[in-house]
């Protein structure tokens, strides 16, 4: 029979029972197979999901409060959409096998897909949009599971697209970031802030060749993980930068001081003040800090001239949020990207992008924040949201329990019961306590005959050990809702 099927599927092959394609194609059984998730991925149990769902809800509420609408984009994009957007990080993109003639890759972030979305649909929104998206992204990074650095992970993004007056949406984005991190209750944090134009001006003044600026920027971006000596070595030995130029860069990016003090130091630099990028970047920063003061978050922000954000598409302010103790690195990041949408819109007769929609956004790294919250988790996490457990005494009373459950569910009350025809009473109590369900509705033959139920509050030892209070069946829903309001 197998031979007949083989000949039917492969009629052009000659079958040789001793040395056949068929026999050679049989996969050998793998020995010692280890059942696990792929590297850089993980499962989340029910208690972890309770924490995660609360996190997503908290962030979503902040986003909606600021007028954002939700969109969704595919988990994979055409390879050409993602190409040349991420600088040296492009090597971390997951490429998919070519299927149906289209070369595709898993999305690396939610920003480039949003820019593609605006290039396709921007006219529908009059080229203005406040959007949020909470979805998974994929990177072939070296994972550090305990610190929330994975290969498959969620990002929570908020972006403002459209032409507005300078630094106004930028200030609101930073306010949104502060509100979201406060809502997630991660403790003290600070936002490191820089401006891509100031950084580019520093490179230009120091003598970095224009074609090498993005490459050198990627090296500087590693300063949060590597000491200056290693970054300097990469710039000179790997990327061919003159040591004297690297030294000049180091002197600039290691400047420190308060917000105004640092801006004043840069303004006093004669070489920088001859550079157009530096003048524009400093003007933006002065304007921004005035708005941050008005929004009550200026004290959350520090200027860090070493912040580079290695992605190629940033054009204005860039920022990263970190916890004060720095236990997991960056927990959120973003910046202004005014030219990204135009990369998808084609060119006009003058060779300029035919569609240009300025954008600014922030991406919150939910996995890293989750790792912080789980490490701090002291109390027991209640994973089951049931509010009422229906218990029977005596002969099972399965249909009677189902009728009560129907009434509870119809009233919007979260309820459950044991999926047994004749469950033992002690096992029902054990299940109720295990899931930390606060209230129990008890029925037996006597209660049914009198059209009553007994109600027990399982949170209190004295009441949970007794028989509970008697409630008329007609008053069951009202009594339960009254109790649930004060839980």
H/E element holding 320?
A: strand 317-323
Per the CB < 8 A criterion, the answer to whether 344 and 351 are in contact is no
Strand residue runs (E) in 257-316: 301-303
Per the CB < 8 A criterion, the answer to whether 363 and 157 are in contact is yes
Residue 292 labeled ligand binder: no
Residue 309 labeled ligand binder: yes
Residues 199 and 285: their CA atoms lie apart, in Å, by 13
Residue 86 labeled ligand binder: no
Residues 446 and 441: their CA atoms lie apart, in Å, by 14
Per the CB < 8 A criterion, the answer to whether 476 and 453 are in contact is yes
Report DSSP state, residue 219.
Answer: H
Going by C-alpha positions, the residue among 241, 306, 486 that lies closest to residue 387 is 486
CA dihedral 168, 174, 179, 184 (to 10 degrees): 160
Residue 319 labeled ligand binder: no
The percent of the chain in helix, strand and coil, each rounded to the nearest 5, is 45, 20, 35
Residues 356 and 343: their CA atoms lie apart, in Å, by 8
Residue 149 labeled ligand binder: no
Residue 110 labeled ligand binder: yes
Beta bridge partners of 133: 157
Residue 356 labeled ligand binder: no
Residue 107 labeled ligand binder: no
- Coil, strand, or helix at residue 289? helix
Longest CA–CA span in the chain (Å) reads: 94
CB neighbours of 384 closer than 8 A, spacing ≥ 6?
46, 416, 435, 436, 437
Neighbours of 36 (CB within 10 A): 9
For 110, half-sphere exposure in the C-beta direction (CA atoms, 13 angstrom radius) is: 26
Residues 202 and 42: their CA atoms lie apart, in Å, by 42
259-283: b (≥16 Cβ within 10 Å) or e:
beebbeebeebeebeebebbbbbbe
Tokens of 76: 């994979």
H/E element holding 403?
A: helix 398-410
End-to-end CA distance of the chain: 67
Tokens of 77: 């994009």
Report DSSP state, residue 435.
Answer: T
Residue 132 labeled ligand binder: no
Cite the annotated binding site for L-histidine by residue number: 109-111, 139, 155, 159, 309, 313-314
Cite the annotated binding site by residue number: 109-111, 139, 155, 159, 309, 313-314
């Amino acid at each position: 029979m197998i031979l007949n099927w083989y000949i039917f599927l492969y009629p052009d092959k000659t079958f040789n029972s001793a040395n056949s394609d068929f026999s050679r194609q049989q996969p050998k059984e793998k020995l010692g197979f280890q059942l696990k998730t792929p590297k850089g991925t993980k499962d989340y149990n029910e208690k972890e999901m309770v924490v995660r769902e609360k996190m997503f809800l908290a962030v979503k509420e902040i986003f909606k409060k600021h007028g954002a609408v939700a969109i969704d984009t595919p988990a994979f994009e055409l390879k050409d959409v993602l190409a040349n957007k991420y600088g040296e990080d492009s090597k971390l993109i997951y490429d998919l096998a070519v299927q149906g003639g289209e070369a595709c890759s898993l999305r690396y972030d939610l920003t480039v897909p949003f820019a593609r979305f605006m290039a396709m649909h921007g006219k529908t929104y009059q080229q203005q949009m406040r959007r949020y998206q909470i979805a998974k992204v994929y990177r072939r990074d070296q994972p550090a599971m305990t610190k929330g650095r994975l290969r498959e992970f969620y990002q929570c993004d908020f972006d403002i697209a459209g032409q507005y007056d300078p630094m106004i949406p930028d200030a609101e984005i930073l306010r949104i970031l502060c509100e979201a991190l406060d809502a997630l209750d991660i403790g003290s944090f600070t936002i490191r802030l820089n401006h891509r134009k100031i950084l580019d001006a520093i490179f230009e003044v120091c003598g970095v060749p224009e074609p090498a600026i993005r490459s050198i920027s990627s090296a500087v971006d590693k300063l949060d993980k590597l000491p200056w000596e290693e970054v300097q070595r990469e710039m000179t030995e790997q990327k061919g930068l003159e040591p004297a130029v690297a030294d000049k860069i180091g002197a600039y990016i290691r400047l420190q001081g308060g917000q105004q003090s640092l801006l004043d130091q840069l303004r006093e630099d004669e070489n920088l003040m001859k550079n157009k990028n530096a003048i524009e970047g400093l003007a933006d920063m002065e304007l921004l800090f005035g708005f941050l003061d008005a929004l009550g978050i200026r004290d959350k922000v520090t200027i860090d001239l070493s912040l580079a954000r290695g992605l190629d598409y940033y054009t204005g302010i860039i920022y990263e949020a970190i916890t004060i103790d720095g236990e997991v690195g960056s927990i959120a990041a973003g910046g202004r990207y005014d030219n990204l949408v135009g990369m998808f819109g084609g060119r006009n007769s003058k060779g300029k992008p035919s569609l240009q929609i300025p954008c600014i956004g922030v991406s919150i790294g939910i996995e890293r924040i989750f790792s912080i919250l789980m490490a701090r988790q002291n109390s027991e996490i209640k994973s089951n949201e049931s509010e009422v457990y229906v218990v029977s005494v005596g002969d099972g009373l399965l249909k009677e329990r189902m009728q009560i459950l129907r009434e509870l569910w119809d009233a919007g009350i979260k309820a459950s019961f044991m999926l047994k025809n004749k469950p033992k009473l002690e096992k029902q109590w054990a299940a109720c306590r295990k899931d930390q369900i606060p209230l129990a509705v008890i029925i037996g033959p006597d209660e049914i005959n009198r059209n009553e139920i007994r109600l027990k509050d399982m949170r209190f030892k004295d009441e949970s050990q007794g028989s509970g209070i008697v409630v008329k069946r007609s008053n069951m829903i009202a009594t339960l809702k009254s109790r649930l309001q004060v839980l």
